[in-house]
Amino acid sequence: MVLASALEPLRVAHGLPTGPDFTWETASVFDQPVQSSSGLQITPSLALAEVKSVDYLILVSGYGVRQHATPEVFLKLHQLRNITRHIVGIDTGVWLMAEAGFLEGHEATIHWQEMNAFGERFPNVKLSEDRFVQSGTHITCGGASTVMDMILKLIQDQYGAALAFDVSNMFVFDVNWKFGINQGAGLMKTAGSPALRAAVNTMADNIEHPISLSDIAAATSTSLRSLNRIFLHELQMPPGKYYQLLRLTRARDMAVETHLSVIQIALLTGFSSASALSRAFSTHYKMRISSVRKRKLVL
């Protein structure tokens, strides 16, 4: 689950019509299949010794991490450190980072079951209970349920809130710091404050005929100023931008999944004309809406 939670957001992001063209590889210490704790056999694409320069080296480990803490592994990790922009430890992969000396003097987190032992073994690492921690070029993550948190945050930092929105939407992802909308309808479920959920649901109910932000504030029993503050604090974007993003997401899905004309899509998503939709779409997604139909949406 830890590995899947790291890879699946990347797969979805890459497969979206507006997704980035990045690649990933899986590697094991000895270039042999690895058995997960649930018994699944995972076949890597290369051995650890074959890994070349990468932007992110993600160390994934679970039970029995100490048996992997060998001089051979640490030698390769130190070699890779010199040609890697970021090193990420997931679950007990954090233990390998610390054992290699990468976390000395840094803040880090690890799976809660390992925290006491980790703190005793590595007293010079500032242990945090946060879901994930970035300290310089090192990122550490506690476990399976937090991995998607971290990957979505990396996607947002690298490629913007629009792509992170799209990816989280595919997974009906509902962690408080971000979007967590219900698939298809754009409805917020458990994430965020009650006022935020009410506002997003009101927006989703008014895609074809958008209403003013003042009306949204009134519908959620809050002031316009408070509404703006809530969105900036919880979603890191103003409510108007979020509302437009909901409409653009619906427009993108229609462009991929239907044969409707651009003007028809525009009218169904609250834009006054095909040109108005096209301008907004190009600004957000850096490509024309007509180009989206040339790529298949990967779910």
Residue 241: which CATH number? 1.10.10.60
Residue, of 81 and 168, whose pLDDT is higher:
81
Indicate whether 14 and 120 sit together in one domain. Answer: yes
**What's the domain range around 248?**
181-294
Average pLDDT, the chain: 84
| Lookup: tokens for 144 | 């399976």
Question: Are residues 186 and 146 part of one domain?
Answer: no
User: Has residue 171 been placed in a domain?
Assistant: no
Q: What pairing do the DSSP bridges indicate for beta strands 46-47 and 27-28?
A: parallel
My answer on whether 215 and 110 are in the same domain is: no
Which own/partner contact pairs does 73-82 have at CB distance under 8 Å and 24+ positions apart?
Answer: 73/29, 73/48, 74/99, 74/100, 76/48, 76/49, 76/51, 77/102, 80/51, 80/54
| Parallel, antiparallel or unpaired: strands 34-35 and 41-42 | antiparallel
CATH number at 144 reads: 3.40.50.880
Q: What is the mean pLDDT of residues 66-81?
A: 83
DSSP label of 54: E
Among the listed residues 211, 268, 259, the one whose alpha carbon sits nearest the alpha carbon of residue 277: 268
Q: Which helix (H) or strand (E) holds 242?
A: helix 239-257
For position 186, what pLDDT does the model report? Answer: 42
What the block records as the tokens of 75 is 């030698």
Q: Are 141 and 90 in contact (CB under 8 A)?
A: yes
For residue 150, being part of any structural domain is answered with yes
Residue 201 lies in a domain: yes
The amino acid present at 109, given as its one-letter code, is T
Is the pLDDT confidence value at 249 over 90? no
- Dist. CA 174–CA 200, nearest whole Å: 13
Same domain, 10 and 144: yes
Q: Are residues 113 and 190 in the same domain?
A: no
Shared domain check, 127 and 57: yes
Do 149 and 16 reside in the same domain of the chain? Answer: yes
Handedness of CA 91, 4, 149, 53 (dihedral sign): positive
Within-domain flag for 174 = no
Q: How confident is the model at residue 192 (pLDDT cuts 50, 70, 90)?
A: low
Q: What is the number of domains present in the chain?
A: 2
Q: What is the pLDDT of residues 31-70, one digit of tens each?
A: 778 877 777 888 888 887 788 888 999 998 877 777 777 8
Percent of the chain with pLDDT over 90: 37
Pairing state of beta strands 54-61 and 84-91? parallel
169 within a domain of the structure (yes/no): no
Residue 149 lies in a domain: yes
Q: Is 235 inside a domain boundary?
A: yes
Regarding whether 123 and 191 lie in a shared domain, the answer is no
| Owner of token pair 């009410």 | 198
Entry pTM? 0.66
Whether 223 and 145 map to the same domain: the answer is no
Is position 44 within any domain?
yes
